[in-house]
Each structure stands twice: as C-alpha cells, then as structure tokens.
Amino acid sequence: MTKNIVLAQGNGGEENAELISKIFYKHFKNEILAKSEDAAIIDGGRLAFTTDSFTVSPIFFDGGDIGKLSICGTCNDLAMMGAKPTYMTCAVIVEEGFSVEELEKIVRSMKKELEINGAMIVCGDTKVVPRGSVDKIFINTTGVGVVQKSGISSNSVSEEDVIIVSNEIGKHGATIFANREGMEFSSNLQSDCTSLWPLVEKLLSEGIAITAMRDATRGGVAAVLNEWAKQSKVCIEVNEEAIPVSDDVRGICEILGFEAYNLANEGTFVLAVKRSDAERAVDVLKTFEEGVKASIIASVTHQYDGRVLLLSPWGSKRFMDLPTGELLPRIC
Amino acid sequence: MSSLELKDLYDGFRNPEVIKSFQKLIAVEAKKLERTVNIMEVCGGHTHTIMKYGLTQLLPENINFIHGPGCPVCIMPKERIDHAYTLAMQEDVILLTLGDMIKVPGSHGSLQNARAKGADVRYVYSPMDALKVAEENPTKKIIFFAIGFETTTPMSAALLDVVIKRGIKNIFFHINHVTVPEVMKELIDSRDEHVNSYDHRIDAFIGPSHVSVISGSKIYAVFPEHYRIPVVVAGFEPVDVMEAIYMMIKQFNEGRSELEIQYKRLVTHEGNLKAQSLIEKYFEKVDLFKWRGMGNVPNSGLKLRDAFAAYDAEVLYKEVLPYDEIDDHKLCICGDILRGFAKPQDCSVFGTACKPSSPLGSCMVSSEGACAAYYKYGNLL
C-alpha cells in the first residue's frame, strides 16, 4: 500500500478494498463487520444499520443532486439487506460561502426521497468550515431499517442461483463524468439515482427467493460480482450480450475507454435469485420504470471459484476483474 | 455528437456473425501455412483488442502474436517520469498530462504520489484543455507533459499554435512524442538474438490505424520493400483485427509481402497533410530518444524546434531537471516484453509483486500495456 492516501483508494475497487481491510477492518475487527455486507445486521437480526458519506462533483447533476443521492444511497444499502428504511441521521459539512438557496434545494431533495422510502431524519449535525476545506458540501447519512426478510447475504450465492441486474448499468458514473467534464454529446443521459426500496418491497411481497442483493455503486457491477464470487467462493459466468447498457453510456465508454460494468450506479442493483424464481423476478422488476430493462445476466458455477467470467457473443471468454486505480480516460 | 453516431462507430465491427465468419476463413488459410507465423501488433491498443475480445481463443495455434512496443506510457523511461515529477513539485506549477501517465512510477514515485504530496497534477482529455486551465490560473505556470506517438503529436502542435497566436504566456511544454516506424526498424535492425531467433521472429506487423490516419500508410512502406515483412494497417475493433489477420495470412500463402490497409474507412497512403505540416512546423527529430527497456533508439523522438525554446519546459527548467541514467527494476522484464521476446507470464513478478494496483513496471501501469491486458482479461487458454 502507498505511504500517502491516493485517490485510487476511494474507487470502490481493489485499492479501496485493500485500504479498508488493512486499516479499518484490522483495528475494528468484529463478527458483524467481517460479514462485509451493504448494511450491518444487528439486534439479533431484527435491524439493519448502515452509514455513507456523499462527496460528489458536480453537486447538481442530470437526474439528481447530492441531497437525493445521500438518502437513496443509505436507504438502498438497507433495502439490499431486505430491510425497510425507518430512522436516519444527517450530518452536513458545508463550506463558508455556500449558497443558502442551494442548501435548501438539496434539503428539499432529501425530504422528497425520504417520503418515497417512508423514513425520517431524527437527528443530525451541521458544521461550517473555511472555504477550501471541503469541496462545497459533504453529507453523511446513517440509516436504520427493519429487516423484512432475513438471510439475504452476499456470502450465500450458490449454483442454484442466477444473477439479475435490475436496469441498464453505468448511468450514474457516465453522467457524472459527462457533467463534470462538460461533454455535450450526452444530452439524453441521466443518472439512475433512485430509491430501490419500493422495488425490493414488491419482490419480497411476491415471495421471490432472493439469495443476495447489492446496489452496484462505486466499482459498478464488476465490483459486486467479484465480491460475491470471492465471498461465496463461486464462479459467476456473465453472458456479455445480456448486460443491459444504454447507447449513451456505451458511447461515453467508447470515447473514454471505459467499461460500463466498472461505472457507478445509484439506482441499479444486482440480485442473486433462485433459478426457479428468476423469470418472475424480472417480470416484477419490469413493472417499475426503474427496472424496465431488468435482465438475467449470469449463471453461477465452480469453473473458476472466486472469479467472474465474461462470455462473449462469438464464443471467447475472459475474466471480468475488479476495477483498479482511478478511472482515467484513455490516451489515444 | 449524437448517441446514434457513436453507436455507428462500433456497432457493425463487433458483429458476432462477422467475427465467426473471419474465424472460419482464417482457419482455412492457416491450414495451408508451412509453419507458425509470428505477428507483432506494434500498438498496445491492438494487444488490448486481442485480449479483451478473446481473439487468440478463436485462432489456430500456428498464429502467434508478439506484443510490441507501441504504448506511450509503457515506453516512457524513468528519467522522463522524474522530469515530470520534478516539474510538478516546482512552485506555482500545474502539470497536465494524459490519462494513465499519472500512475507510472519514476524513481521518486508517480505523478499520483506527487499529487498526494500536494503537487497540482491534472489529467486532460485533450491538450486543448490546457487553455482553460491556463485562463483560470493566470498566476500559475501550466506545463503540458506531452506524450504519445504520431496520433497525439498533432494536438500538441495545435496547442502550441494557439498559444503563440493568442500570445498566451503561461503554457509550456515538456515533449516526449515518439514515432512508430523507427522503433519497428530498431526491432529488426538491432539483430537481437532473441527477436531474430526462429521462435520469436517477426513475420508480419499489424500497423496501428490511428497512427496512419495522421501519417498515412506510407510510413510502413519500408517494411515490405526493404525487409520483406508484410504490414497490414488495421483498426481496433474485433472485426478489424480478424480481417487484418486474414489479409496477412493470405499474403503468406500467396507468397506476397505488401503494405495493405484494412482500415480503409479513414486511412490513406498520404495521411493528414495538414497535421503533418503542423508537426513539421513546430517539432524536429532528436538524435536519440531513450525507450524503456529498449535503450536509445535513433531518430525516434521529437522535440520543439529551437525557435520555440521559450515554450520548452525542458529548456526553462534545465537547472532543476535530473539527468542521471536510471536502471529499471531488476525483477521487471518490461524491456523484454516491449521488444517482443517475452510474454507477461514469463515475468517472475507478474500478478504477484507486480499488479495494476502496485505496478513495478510500466507495462502493468498503462491500460494499453501488455501486462495490464494479461492481468485484466486473463489468459484462459
């Protein structure tokens, strides 16, 4: 590991995982943390508990803003454990000189998203720091959810499961890139930033046998699948043609040399579902606007345990690895 | 650019049926070959296409790829990275470069490490982005650490052109542009015992199409004419590479040694004459340019002409720039890989001490590098 923290260690990929395990897991070691789930399951399995900090640039982007993101992100982590979001905290660190009007706009976004999840902010904190100490505004939210279905775990994926993605992938990452760099060709592109609890609630009420769920945030779908393959000691074989990717995202990937499955999502999740329930799960997801492109993308085998295989439409195969380093545009 | 146009860029060129058709055609031709044919893909972009799309898995065993030296990040010697690092650490400097360059370790660390220590290092999508940075930071010196082959050189020249015409006073250049044909000649003329042994002989080159969009296919004419080595200038989509391989093997079976263009949709014999004249106006050849792992290659690098020394960071900062020769890491065989006589798996530290997250050598750093391609996509055969 490097002597000083570098940006790549926050990428949701390999360097990020190394930093977490060698510094935080090492000193905070306990059984709950070691499970490495989206949210910790506490109180004898009754509650899910999670926290997340949001530092996005630009703070207002196509399809959302940092406020919406700060509620979706934390509530989605709870939803991924089969838990209904209930109580939340909100801590804001804001730079001197930040516009009050924009702050209120952000908070209104948060309120709207809280209503969708049926959750409320019950305590919080506000800090104002000198200009330049933070990039405009940082928000941390912590959430507690009541577990509706226990046993959902990324450590339990098996050959009986198939893998589904809930919608087109990479939209958030591509949008942020496009907005940050002022790329004008992506006018149709919007972040997928959305709350996933309504989709999860419906899947649970339909009795879908869900083994694992994870929202594919930093590190994208590739990071989720690699974590599952390692944690569950299985091989995930992805049918490349079945991965839903919009033309806009594909276009950005072509120009900059990215892979859509490495780009972040904020309203798209990956599910491991018992094979017998897979088609039904896709049908349920497709009843939502946010799940209209849901697709079965992979099967689970033991061909290369701990690895993710990508099967091309012309019969070749390769590994789909964890993203490494900062996402940097290609040179030529 | 609309999304429809973007889609058109790749859609037909990844058509599974077309790829499978070429696979069949190649198989038929390959049966007629008398021995294994060693094809060097000069450019790292082709290496990545071959690995990313699993093309080796579609080809018969008597077609062997040799990975070449064509990656602007991989070939950068530590001495030049130390220049970038030193420049970045100077007061009031913003150092700009392209993508992966910020990750390559020099002897003090990478530009990424310099940034973690407080240096202002930024990557740009295009050299022209320097104009905005310069405008927003009028009290800073903006140094563009220019890298790349014929493909990126015109943009550096175009930036200098704008800087001069607008009278911009705070943009400077550190030039590391290199040229493809000279290093290809070096691979053959060096008479390296490994390169020229039977197993590693370069029988044919796949020429990078983006280089020829600028310089034309003419730059490769010497290889079939003088060395009797066929060259096919090819695009980077899987269909392009499969077609180029088919064209090459046909040349072998028909006893031909020619320069052919697969990528006819943009490449001409003459290339982009306007870009070429812009390069000619601002740049001249250096006698020797050091390539990582290959040493000094004659006439393979460019520098700013003396008339433009006022914009040359290498001149302006010559008092602080280090000039000592630096050896590569003892265990790293990037040099052998770039010369085409070793494959990534031949390296004792591949995937262990040397990984994309902790690279020892440049071939693992760059997203165009052969080691990165092998590590990322795996060699499943």
* pLDDT value, residue B3: 46
Count of A-B CB contacts under 8 Å: 124
Residues of chain B positioned with their CB less than 8 A from the CB of A326: 103, 112
A128 touches B: beta carbon within 8 Å? no
- Starting at the earlier edge strand, list the strands of the sheet with B231-234: B63-70, B37-43, B204-208, B231-234, B259-261
Query: Does residue A52 have a pLDDT over 80?
Result: yes
Cα–Cα distance measured from residue B140 to residue B167, given in angstroms and rounded to the nearest whole number: 16
Query: Does residue A197 have a pLDDT over 50?
Result: yes
Q: Which residue has the tokens 């079965």?
A: A296
Q: Do B58 and A331 touch (CB under 8 A)?
A: no
Q: Do A318 and B20 touch (CB under 8 A)?
A: no
* pLDDT value, residue A162: 98
Most A CBs within 10 Å: which of B1, B5, B6, as the mutation test of the A interface?
B6
HSE-up of residue B68 (Cα within 13 Å, Cβ side): 27
**Cβ neighbours of residue A112 under 8 Å, at least 6 residues apart?**
A68
Cα–Cα distance measured from residue B350 to residue B50, given in angstroms and rounded to the nearest whole number: 19
> What are the backbone dihedrals phi and psi of residue B277, each rounded to the nearest 5 degrees, phi first?
-70, -30
Q: What's the average model confidence in pLDDT over A279-293?
A: 97
Q: What's the average model confidence in pLDDT over A68-92?
A: 97
ipTM of the prediction greater than 0.85, yes or no: no
**Cβ neighbours of residue A9 under 8 Å, at least 6 residues apart?**
A2, A15, A16, A18, A19
Instruction: Place A187 in a pLDDT band, splitting at 50, 70 and 90.
Output: low
* pLDDT value, residue A322: 77
* pLDDT value, residue A192: 95
Q: What's the average model confidence in pLDDT over A34-58?
A: 93
Residues of chain A positioned with their CB less than 8 A from the CB of B9: 254
Query: Does residue A195 have a pLDDT over 70?
Result: yes
* pLDDT value, residue B4: 47
Q: What's the average model confidence in pLDDT over A121-150?
A: 96
Q: Do B100 and A313 touch (CB under 8 A)?
A: no
Among A188-192, A287-291, A326-330, B103-107, which stretch is predicted with the lowest mean pLDDT? A326-330
If phi > 0 it is left, if psi is from -120 to 50 it is alpha, else beta; for residue B351 that is: left
pLDDT in tens, A287-298: 999 999 999 999
Q: Quick one: tokens of A86? A: 């209930």
CB count, 10 Å around CB of B320? 11
**Cβ neighbours of residue B334 under 8 Å, at least 6 residues apart?**
B74, B292, B293, B328, B361, B362, B363, B371
* pLDDT value, residue A285: 98
* pLDDT value, residue B193: 65
Q: What's the average model confidence in pLDDT over A244-267?
A: 90
Name the CA radius of gyration of chain B, rounded.
Answer: 21
Which residue ranges of chain B lie beneath pLDDT 70? 1-10, 191-200, 379-381
| Burial profile A264-300: b = 16 or more Cβ within 10 angstroms, e = fewer | bbbbbbbbbbeeebbeebbebbeebebbebbbbbbbb
